[in-house]
Every structure is written in structure tokens, then in C-alpha cells.
Amino acid sequence: MLSFFTGARVSAESGIPTFRDALTGLWERFDAYDLASMEGYLHDKAMVWGWYEWRRAKVLKAQPNPAHFAIAQMAECAEKLTLITQNVDDLHERAGSSNVIHLHGEITRAHCVECAAPYTFPPGIPDEPENGKRVDPPVCGRCGGTMRPGVVWFGEELPLKAYQQAVEAAREGDEFVTVGTSSLVYPAAELPYIAAENGKIVVQVNPVETSMDQISMHVLRGRAGDVMPALLHCWR
């Protein structure tokens, strides 16, 4: 079994600012914790919802890049492929990957903060709220609560099933390939280490040195969008 573990820089090649990049420029006066925690949401729901609508618009306008397509096509080369992502966008799916394990949730989903009823976004791309524009979150038709983005915030547990599937892939697979992640954000960052401890072949795709160099059998220095199509070519 071949497993891929992708991070923020795979999406960044499609023009989606990483979480921290996104806090520069227009939104630089905001704090990450205020925008990505239950405490921040309860303090100012419209600010948080507005920020995620801005990010959702960016995601919907973005297109998958060669790294996303190469990973999707690798499913044809491997007997079984597991794709684990820390990214909250749907670019892997739009590139053709299925059964993507989203460790940090999905920005294209939302649910009621009170009763967990799912929310269906209206079709189309939302207007990109401008600099710090506040947008009231929709109200739940079932209980009158408010909707929150379907992403994992600071201090929240990862979705249990997704995390269990990811750990199983790290333990049971043959190769574990990390792409565009620093593997510093825990607990997701444990996965390559779990794979290495279980004797799996860890491969890292990253243009710069990281702490994962020590556990990686192969380090492919380069951009995801260059390296992944080349890797696909070799495996075909």
C-alpha cells in the first residue's frame, strides 16, 4: 500500500494562501487564534465566518495543480493508495482522487455549533469579503443555533475516524510519502514517525531541509508540482 500525506504547500501551488500566509495582507491585523478557535468564534462569530467565506472563495476559485493530478493518477499504479491531507480544500478530489482522508476538516462543509446539523452552502462562489468584512453565519433551521466552518480549530480533536485511518495507513502501508508539509503540527505530524517506527519506507518531497530528513529513506528536494509528475513518470 502506498500512502501520501500532503500539506499546505501543495495547495499553495494552486494559489491558496497557507493558514499563516492568509493572515498577512488584508487580514494581518487578526490573530490566528481569534480566527480559528471556538473561543474566537464565540467572541465574534461574524468576523470568523467572514474570514472563512473569504478563504472558501479562494478555494473555489483555485484549480488543482500538477501535484494534485499526479497523486490522483498514481492510484492507477498502486495496488492500494491512501491519501491523507492536512489541507481543508477539495483540490485533491477535483483532481480525481477519491476517499481522501481530511485530517483537519473541510472548508466546503459547515455545521451547526449547537446540534451539528449539516449546512448546505448556496451554489456558486461567495463574494470575497473585503478587508476584515464581517458576515453573519447562517442560522440552523433545526435548532436556531449558528453554523460554523467544518474545519478543525485550535484545541479541537482531529476527526477520530480520519485519524484512525491515517494511523492505520502509516502502520500498515509499504511506502509513506510526505509532500509539502513541515510535519510540525501535531498530532498529524506524528504520522511519518509512526511509519518510520514501523519500518516503512518514508519518502519526503520538500525543497528544504526539515526534521523529517532524519527518518526519510529518500528525500526529493524540489517543489511538489515538479517532483510529483516526475515521480509518476518513474512509477509508470
# binding residues, ligand OAD (CB under 6 A): 22
Among 184, 197, 213, 217, binds ligand OAD (CB under 6 A): 184
Q: Of the listed pieces 94-102, 116-124, 161-169, 182-190, which binds ligand OAD according to CB under 6 A? A: 182-190
The residue ranges of DSSP E strands in the chain, in sequence order, are 2-6, 81-85, 101-102, 105-112, 118-119, 147-151, 175-179, 201-205, 218-220
- Supply the angle between the helices 190-197 and 160-172 in degrees, to the nearest 10: 30
Q: What is the 3-state secondary structure (H, E, C) of 76-142?
A: CCCCCEEEEECCCCCHHHHHCCCCCEECCEEEEEEEECCCCCEECCCCCCCCCCCCCCCCCCCECCC
Q: Tell the residue number behind the cell numbers 485550535, with chain if given.
A: 154
Residue 51 as a binder of ligand OAD (CB under 6 A): the answer is no
Q: Of the listed pieces 43-51, 76-84, 154-162, 174-182, which binds ligand OAD according to CB under 6 A? A: 174-182
Q: Which is nearer to ligand OAD, 19 or 51 (CB)?
A: 19
- For residue 124, what are the contacts with CB-CB under 8 A and spacing of at least 6? none
Reply yes or no on whether 104 is catalytic.
Answer: yes
Residue 4 as a binder of ligand OAD (CB under 6 A): the answer is no
Residue 208 as a binder of ligand OAD (CB under 6 A): the answer is yes
Residue 9 as a binder of ligand OAD (CB under 6 A): the answer is yes
Active-site residue among 104, 111, 218, 233? 104
Q: Which is nearer to ligand OAD, 114 or 182 (CB)?
A: 182
Q: How far, in Å, CA of 120 to CA of 139, rounded?
A: 12
How remote is the C-alpha of 57 from its chain's centroid?
A: 16
Residue 88 as a binder of ligand OAD (CB under 6 A): the answer is yes
Q: Rule CB under 6 A: which residues touch ligand OAD?
A: 7-9, 13, 18-19, 86, 88, 104, 180-185, 205-208, 210, 223-224
Q: Which residues are catalytic?
A: 104
